[in-house]
Amino acid sequence: MRGRGGIRAAPRFLAMVLGVVLLGATDGVAQVPAGAEGGVALTGVVRADGLRADGLLPGAVVEVRQGSRRRTATVGADGAWRVGGLEGGLAEVAVFHLAAHHLALAVELPSRGEVRLDLELTPRVLAIPGITARAHPALLEPVTGRSPTATTATVRTIGAMATTGLVESGLAGVLRTLPGEENPTADRVLFMRGSTVDVRTVLLDGAPVLTPFHVAGLVSPFEADLLGHASLFNAGAPASYEGGLSYLLDVDTRAPRPGRVRGSFALDGLLVRGVAETPLPGGGGLIAGGRHLHAMQERATGGSGGFPYAYDDLLIRWTLPVAQGHHVHFTGFRNREAVKLDELLLGRAQAEWGNRVSSLRYTGRIGGAGVRASLASSRYESALPLGLDEPVLASGAADHDRATLDVVLPRDGWRLRAGLSAERLDYRYAMNARLRLWQDRGETPPVLVVGGERAAVSTRALGGYLEAELPLGDRSELRVGSRIQHHGGGEGLRVGPRATLRHALTPEARLTVAAGRYHQPVPRPGLLGTESDIGLQELSWNPGLPIASATHLLVSLDQFLGEELEVGVSGFVKTFEGVEAASSRRLLSSGTDLRLTRSGERLSGWLGYTLSWFWEEAAGPLTSSLFSGRHLISSGVRAGLPGGLEGSLTAAYGAGLPLTSVPLSSVPGEAEDFRVGGVRRLNTSGAEASPLELMPEDDFVRLDFELSRELTPKIGGRRSELRPYLRVINALDRRDALFHYFDRWREGGVQPVANRPLLPLIGVEWRF
């Protein structure tokens, strides 16, 4: 027996999230033949055509009333329901569901037995007013961390781009210009990761940082539990950013979560790390995390040489709400990293670098406008021991202070952004050495003692920007603006126009075209010597901090291939000016980038491929230009396995990645280009060489693996997560080393410094 009521309409599942709305329906009386005496039960099936493929309506509620007595039943997944314990006589039956019109009818029941009553409801559509979603213009920072997949992808990107900073800070340039013979031939050369072509800008909570990430590849570049948001601009960075000739990376740590104390702790044979966060009175919170590379497993089995890497970091973030919609954030960060160069140098020596960062930010709304103000200070320190004829210790420090003010004014359908900035950069270099400069005169070489020789160079910059985001129809958006920056030291004004056009080809595909002009100071320290018949007479510094420039053009296409799969492809062209002191010619670059990402609960992964070419424009019609290419493949997968296990596998291949050379010693001879042990163009002169000239022709392959299982024990009456894991690093016994060296008198050509073999680790992670 079926009763029908209401008006048929197209089904809309949106009605299920709007609450229970009771609507009237056609009432009627269904007569049921009398049965035997005794209790009676009502059973049946509830349907609603169009809501599901099978026509059933699970989740509906059936209510039966007899006088003051009321009994209910919920329709199961099979659409069936049953209400027992009823009395004979009249009963009122009503059916409710969020996505259908309510149905009511009366039934005459026998005194005992079972009566089947199938019911069919009519789907309904609820008219709702339009909903307008607007981005909050106050530049508020995220409260919680990103999803694990997004974090993995971001950390992967950071790890692929990070270097020690020894080249970018100018420290390598100190010893590339040591005086000597007019045409010496490199006898021993140290290669270090990095190039002046890759002049980047990295911001950590608004503070410019040279190398805030672990780069030796033994642990994650950045602690994923502390990462809140990361924006990578290979080109097309908004006008609010300055610098980033090659790329710009803006990283924000996450704010502490409210509610309760949380934390995590992990320990294995290589690393100990931990994160703790707690809410504070007044609605604020504190989060802190640190890592230490103790390497007990390797120290116990690595022989007398010990472990060649050292790393420590500590980050603290404090968030305080000062009023409704107004927040203050403070971040402090410190890291130190080192690599032993014992294999290359006499005695025990290591290259060291690290950062100290402090950042204070305010975010809020004032008069309808979003406002963010920040004060940030960072220091990068490094030391590089070099084994010339006598030990040399070159050290450097870079201080960067920055104050910014950003305002967002929302308008009907568009937004206006404006801001001011003030920056101070100080670079300082020192060298302590006892140099023995060999002269080809058959005499005892003169000795130059350099004790505490120092040089410093600094600049100041004031800037501002104006930028608008405008909709162009329903499917396009244009962001256009410009930045003007005044640099001290006679560099004057620099203008950086920027424009980005985004167009939605389909709801799942977006085309982006971006272009812009960027400027950034590039340190150029060096040493000058005055020679006479008896040798070197005087040593002096010639540091500089000129402004280099770059122009970018980027075209990219991003597309969603389903709910969990995203693919992106881009092509770019860049030109660089003033990145090298030895050449006034432009350096050009072009390339492509492919990204494939899958995000899922049980299976997630990524695949990325980057190919880029660099060449220097020819000096004339009869001259050729240097040409160099590099490519990098990075991939990974994380999947749930049977038995509650989880496995992850990452693989990487790179070739032609930039290395900068520093001659350790030289022998007199005619200048020549030669090829020895896989190194080309080892000829050096007293000036900086092009970044394309000195590069080991070597590639690397890396394959890492991890297997873990998550347990959920109760500790102290509280549920926690315990994850034992097995991790294998460098599964193919090859990894990209940060330092390489070449010695004419050794076999094998270019050799990596402190490259580690297969490294299996057993550890455990605890979260509470």
The reported pLDDT for the residue numbered 535 is 46
Say what the pLDDT of residue 594 is.
92
Mean pLDDT of the chain: 77
- Band (pLDDT 50/70/90 cuts) for residue 661 is confident
Buried (b) or exposed (e) across 104-130, using 16+ Cβ within 10 A? bbebebbebbebebebbbbbbeeeeee
Domain count, the chain: 2
| Residue 5 resides in a domain | no
Question: Both tokens of residue 630?
Answer: 């590099």
* Unique residue bearing structure tokens 């084994």: 387
Residues 6+ apart with CB under 8 A from 445: 389, 436, 437, 438, 439, 535
Least confident piece of the model among 3-12, 192-201, 522-531, 714-723: 3-12
Residue 505 burial by Cβ neighbours in a 10 Å radius (0-12, 13-18, 19+)? exposed
Identity (one letter) of the amino acid at 227?
Answer: L
Nearest alpha carbon to residue 349 among 748, 734, 664: 664
Neighbouring C-beta atoms of residue 350, cutoff 10 Å = 18
Residue type, 269: G
- Quick one: pLDDT at residue 147? 40
* Rounded mean pLDDT, 106-134: 78
Q: pLDDT tens digits for 155-212?
A: 444 444 567 888 888 777 665 555 444 444 556 777 787 777 778 889 999 999 988 8
Tell me the three state secondary structure of residue 4: coil
Evaluate whether residue 139 is within a structural domain.
no
Provide the pLDDT for residue 12: 40
| Residues 115 and 153 reside in one and the same domain | no
Per-residue pLDDT tens digits for 455-478: 788 999 999 999 999 999 888 999
Same domain, 309 and 438: yes
Same domain, yes or no, for 77 and 180?
Answer: no
Answer for the pair 469, 415: CB distance below 8 angstroms, yes or no. yes
Q: Which two tokens stand for residue 589?
A: 């670059």
DSSP characters over 482-504? EEEEEETTTTEEEEEEEEEEEEE
* Contact criterion met (CB below 8 Å) for 509 and 413: no
For tokens 């994850």, name the residue. Answer: 723
Query: Is residue 261 in a domain?
Result: yes
SS3 state of residue 747:
coil
Which residue, 104, 120, 136, sits at the end of a domain?
120
271-310 pLDDT, tens digit each? 999 999 999 988 899 999 999 999 888 777 765 557 888 9
CB atoms within 10 A of CB 443: 10
Task: Using the structure block, give the residue that is written with the tokens 């000597």.
Answer: 180
Q: Is the pLDDT of residue 536 over 70?
A: no
At residue 378, the pLDDT reads 96
In 256-341, beta strands by DSSP E: 262-267, 272-279, 285-292, 309-323, 326-340
Q: What angle do CA 437, 440, 445 make, to 5 degrees?
A: 40
What's the mean pLDDT in 395-410?
93
pLDDT value at residue 161: 56
**Domain that includes residue 32, residue range:** 13-120
- Greatest alpha-carbon pair distance for the chain in Å reads 130
CB 435 within 8 Å of CB 448: yes
pLDDT at site 722: 93
Q: What is the mean pLDDT of residues 698-726?
A: 87
Number of H helices, E strands in the chain: 3, 46
Q: Is the pLDDT of residue 109 over 50?
A: yes
C-alpha distances in angstroms, 593 versus 109, 250, 634? 73, 20, 11
The yes-or-no verdict on residue 79 having pLDDT over 70 is: yes
Nearest to 382, CA basis, from 525, 478, 257, 241: 525
Residue 635's CATH number: 2.40.170.20
Distance separating alpha carbons of residues 262 and 398, to the nearest angstrom: 36
739 pLDDT above the threshold of 60: yes
Asked whether residue 134 is assigned to any structural domain, the reply reads no
283 and 337 fall within a common domain = yes
pLDDT attached to residue 738: 80
pLDDT band at 626 (very low <50, low <70, confident <90, very high): low
Residue 93 shares a structural domain with residue 223: no
Q: Please report the pLDDT score of residue 384 as a whole number.
A: 84
CA distances from 228 to 142, 265, 315, 460 (A): 6, 19, 13, 31
User: By three-state DSSP, how is residue 297 classified?
Assistant: helix
pTM: 0.75
First to last CA, the chain: 56
**Calpha distance 44→533 (Å, rounded):** 112
Q: Same structural domain for residues 116 and 156?
A: no
Residues 186, 281 within the same domain = yes
Q: Bridge partners of 100?
A: 123
Residues 677 and 744 in one domain: yes
- The predicted pLDDT at position 234 comes to 84
Q: Within a domain: residue 73? A: yes
- Name the band, by pLDDT with cuts 50, 70 and 90, for residue 758: confident
Q: What pLDDT score does 683 carry?
A: 35
Average pLDDT over residues 43-47: 92
**pLDDT tens track for 218-240:** 888 888 889 888 888 888 899 99
The helix (H) or strand (E) run that includes residue 767 is strand 759-767
| Same-domain check for residues 274 and 360 | yes
Distance CA 131, CA 507 (A): 18
CATH of the domain at 73: 2.60.40.10
Asked whether residue 519 falls in the same domain as residue 389, the answer is yes
**Are 27 and 175 members of one domain?**
no
Look at residue 1 and tell me if it is in a domain: no
- The reported pLDDT for the residue numbered 499 is 96
* Range 381-404 average pLDDT: 81
Q: pLDDT-based confidence at 453, cuts 50/70/90? A: low
In a domain, 645, yes or no: yes
- Rank 511-515, 664-668, 753-757 by mean pLDDT and report only the highest: 511-515
What letter does residue 304 receive in the DSSP assignment? T
Residues in CB range of 36: below 8 A, 6 or more apart:
110, 111, 112, 113
Mean pLDDT lowest among 266-270, 539-543, 556-560, 611-615: 539-543
The confidence score (pLDDT) of residue 446 equals 46
Give the DSSP H or E segment for 74.
strand 69-74
Look up residue 344 and give its DSSP letter. T
214 and 104 in a single domain? The answer is: no
Cα(120)–Cα(57) distance, integer angstroms: 9
Which pLDDT score, from 0 to 100, does residue 400 have? 95
Q: Residues 479-531: pLDDT tens digits?
A: 999 999 999 888 889 999 999 999 999 888 999 999 999 999 988 876 665 55
Residue 727 has pLDDT above 70, yes or no: yes
Is 60 a residue whose pLDDT tops 80?
A: yes
> What does the pLDDT average to over 36-49?
79
Q: Is residue 164 part of a domain?
A: yes
176 φ, ψ to 5°?
Answer: -75, -15
pLDDT surpassing 80 at residue 76: yes
Q: What is the dihedral of CA 209, 308, 652, 739, to 10 degrees?
A: 70
